[in-house]
Amino acid sequence: QVQESGGGLVQPGDSLTLSCAASGRKFSRYALGWFRQAPEKEREFVAAINWQGTSTYYADSVKGRFTIARDKDKNTVHLRMRSLQPDGTAVYYCAADSSGIAGSFRSAQKDYWGQGTQVTVSS
C-alpha cells in the first residue's frame, strides 16, 4: 500500500527525486516520510511531511539539501535530493504514520512501510 520509486545510480553532486505512492483513501490523513539504511548501519530518519502537506521535518544531515513535498490529490510524496554524496548511498524507505504529524517520525514505529528503493552515489 506504500510504494517507492525513483532510486538509481548517480554521481556525487547530482540530484535525484524519490517518490512514494500511498494507495487507499485513508492515507490522505497519514503523515508520510522517509527513512534510509546504509550498509551495516541502522535505519535513520530523513524527512517527513504532515497529512495536510503544510509542515515538514528533516534530519539535520539533510537540511538545506533535501526537500519533501506532498501531492494531496494523489497521496504521493516526493523527496528531492540535491548535492548527493557517497554517504547518501542507502536503501530509502517510505513510511506512513496514522497520527498525521510530521514530528511523529522521530520514532521509527510506523503503521506502514514500503519495500525500499536503492540509491547509490558513486563516481
* pLDDT surpassing 80 at residue 74: no
* pLDDT surpassing 90 at residue 73: no
Q: Is 40 in a helix, a strand, or coil?
A: coil
- Tell me the pLDDT band of 72, cut-offs 50, 70 and 90: confident
Check residue 12 and give its pLDDT.
98
How many residues can be counted in the chain? 123
Q: Where are the beta strands (DSSP E) in 6-122?
A: 8-10, 16-22, 31-37, 44-49, 56-58, 66-71, 76-81, 90-97, 112-113, 117-121
